[in-house]
């Protein structure tokens, strides 16, 4: 059954969508020596910082052009220019990433013109690259903001170049540990690559002797400018709209083939990545990855008795919902409800295909839902497990259902940045978490205990 939110619903309660500039800010944090500024009011930047700090547990600076009542009426050009001046004097960045807020978009602020004026007014200065991404949250969410920013970066920095033996990977919103896992996989194929945006160090760095205003790490301007010399691109999204896809842009402009892959959770999705890498690099899967795959298959068979037939509700952004539904089906569980705050029409045929492949009824697909709507759907439903972000906790507690936290934000548990869920290794770690949860439930519910002496 396919459900979309019945209109009119006057309020969104505990939204599944997060703010579009938040996605843009995560992407900008993956760029080396980059400082993000939100063109809007201070509260928006504070909200974004609060979520990112609670999830990544790192200091997160995001500037704001600090709209006032006057700015909201007469435009924020001067505020933005002052903000950029302050960022340059305080942070000396190589890149300034500007994300627009709902307010600046609503009043129709011409930010591109402000940037041109700023650059003309300061021709004597050695200015950083200034990248603009348009991110009104009423026309998108954190997921769209994340990809729009990647597209803005390649649109701004790439030009025609000779092709080299290299590929580019445009990642989805995954954890820093997942990014490290991806890099390990790529390195195993011993082939040149560019990964963007790489926030594995900037949002999960070590301790420092001296404070760095901009954390070290990230994809450099030089690397992004060389993206157009890649032979192929891999884009980890199958729900993405072509208009915001960096890979589709590079295909249209530079004729670089774009391979769109699911987030590699589960054997099938990871196999798809391996096949793509084998074709790009003209080699076969390295032995270390083949061994990881064999161990994962073994874990699937060991786990079967604990989890077979369990019914699951999945909540997340479109690509995450698809990959989790595919993984859940592989291990013999049933995705009964698949829900997202976005309006991903593409999810419908994709989830239907999974259901047909694994011979169970098509899950209830809830598009454009908030957690309040999902709670109503789950009430009276025979669900064994909810998989979602920390925002699903309230509902899980009320419905007395266990919750596995995955995605963004995870702010009521420790270690979100270290959470590994992708590739054969990550899938195994996610499977362990699910199986152990059900063993724990059996132990808790069994009056005589459930243990080895």
Q: Is it true that the peptide bond before 409 is cis, omega within 30 degrees of 0? A: yes
Structure tokens at 159: 């030009």
Closest separation in Å from C-beta 396 to ligand SF4: 25
Query: Tokens 């793509």, residue?
Result: 276
Query: With respect to ligand SF4, which residue has the nearer C-beta, 19 or 313?
Result: 19
Q: Contact between 101 and ligand SF4 (CB under 6 A)? A: yes
Closest separation in Å from C-beta 61 to ligand SF4: 17
Query: With respect to ligand SF4, which residue has the nearer C-beta, 141 or 220?
Result: 141
Q: Contact between 224 and ligand SF4 (CB under 6 A)? A: no
| Dihedral-angle region of residue 275 (phi above 0 means left; psi in -120 to 50 means alpha; beta otherwise) | alpha
Question: Which of 64, 65, 133, 137: binder of ligand SF4 (CB under 6 A)?
Answer: 137
Query: With respect to ligand SF4, which residue has the nearer C-beta, 44 or 244?
Result: 44
Going residue by residue from 17 to 36, which x/- string records binding to ligand SF4, judged by CB under 6 A?
A: --x-x---------------
Could you give the CA distance from residue 287 to residue 281 in angstroms, rounded to a whole number? 15
Nearest to 178 by CA among 268, 46, 56: 56
Could you give the CA distance from residue 421 to residue 432 in angstroms, rounded to a whole number? 11
Query: With respect to ligand SF4, which residue has the nearer C-beta, 21 or 286?
Result: 21
Element (H, E) at 385: strand 385-388
Query: With respect to ligand SF4, which residue has the nearer C-beta, 44 or 234?
Result: 44
Q: Contact between 141 and ligand SF4 (CB under 6 A)? A: no
By CB under 6 A, what part of segment 39-58 binds ligand SF4? 40, 44, 47
Query: With respect to ligand SF4, which residue has the nearer C-beta, 19 or 338?
Result: 19
Closest separation in Å from C-beta 137 to ligand SF4: 3
Closest separation in Å from C-beta 62 to ligand SF4: 11
Count CA atoms closer than 13 A to 212's CA, side-chain side.
18
Query: With respect to ligand SF4, which residue has the nearer C-beta, 43 or 216?
Result: 43
Could you give the CA distance from residue 447 to residue 453 in angstroms, rounded to a whole number? 16
Nearest to 214 by CA among 95, 113, 110, 328: 95
Q: Contact between 118 and ligand SF4 (CB under 6 A)? A: no
Number of H helices, E strands in the chain: 17, 14
Residues that bind ligand SF4 (CB under 6 A): 19, 21, 40, 44, 47, 101-102, 137
């Amino acid at each position: 059954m396919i459900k979309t939110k019945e209109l009119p619903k006057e309020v969104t309660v505990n939204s599944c969508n997060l703010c579009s500039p938040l996605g843009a800010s995560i992407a900008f944090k993956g760029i080396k020596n980059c400082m993000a500024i939100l063109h809007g009011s201070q509260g928006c930047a504070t909200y974004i910082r609060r979520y990112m700090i609670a999830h990544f547990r790192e200091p997160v600076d995001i500037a704001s052009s600090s709209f006032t009542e006057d700015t909201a009426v007469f435009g924020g050009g001067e505020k933005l220019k002052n903000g950029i001046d302050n960022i340059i004097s305080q942070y000396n960045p190589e890149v300034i990433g500007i994300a627009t807020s709902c307010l600046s978009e609503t009043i129709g602020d011409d930010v591109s013109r402000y940037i041109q004026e700023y650059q003309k007014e300061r021709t004597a200065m050695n200015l950083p690259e200034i990248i603009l991404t348009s991110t009104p949250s009423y026309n998108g969410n954190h997921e769209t903001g994340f990809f729009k920013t990647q597209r803005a970066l390649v649109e701004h920095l790439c030009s025609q170049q000779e092709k080299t033996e290299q590929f580019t990977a445009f990642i989805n919103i995954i954890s820093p540990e997942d990014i490290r896992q991806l890099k390990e996989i790529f390195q195993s194929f011993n082939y040149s690559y560019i990964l963007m945006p790489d926030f594995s160090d900037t949002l999960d760095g070590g301790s420092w002797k001296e404070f760095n205003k901009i954390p070290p790490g990230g994809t450099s301007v030089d690397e992004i400018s060389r993206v157009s010399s890649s032979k192929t691109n891999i884009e980890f999204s199958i729900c993405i709209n072509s208009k915001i896809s960096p890979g589709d842009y590079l295909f249209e402009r530079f004729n670089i083939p774009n391979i769109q892959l699911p987030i590699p959770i589960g054997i099938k999705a990871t196999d798809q990545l391996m096949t793509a890498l084998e074709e790009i690099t003209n080699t076969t899967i390295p032995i270390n990855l083949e061994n990881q795959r064999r161990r994962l298959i073994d874990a699937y068979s060991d786990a079967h008795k604990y989890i077979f037939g369990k019914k699951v509700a999945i909540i997340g952004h479109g690509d995450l919902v698809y990959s989790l539904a595919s993984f859940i089906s592989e291990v013999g569980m049933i995705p009964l409800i698949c829900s997202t705050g976005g309006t991903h029409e593409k999810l419908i045929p994709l989830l239907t295909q999974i259901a047909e492949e694994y011979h169970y009824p098509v899950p209830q697909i809830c598009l454009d839902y908030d957690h309040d709507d999902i709670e109503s759907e789950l009430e009276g439903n025979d669900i064994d497990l909810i998989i979602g972000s920390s925002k699903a906790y309230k509902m899980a507690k009320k419905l007395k259902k266990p919750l596995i936290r995955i995605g963004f934000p995870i702010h009521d548990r420790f270690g979100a940045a270290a959470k590994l869920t992708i590739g054969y290794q990550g899938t195994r770690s996610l499977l362990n978490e699910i199986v152990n949860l059900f063993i724990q439930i059996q132990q808790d519910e069994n009056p005589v205990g459930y243990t080895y002496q």
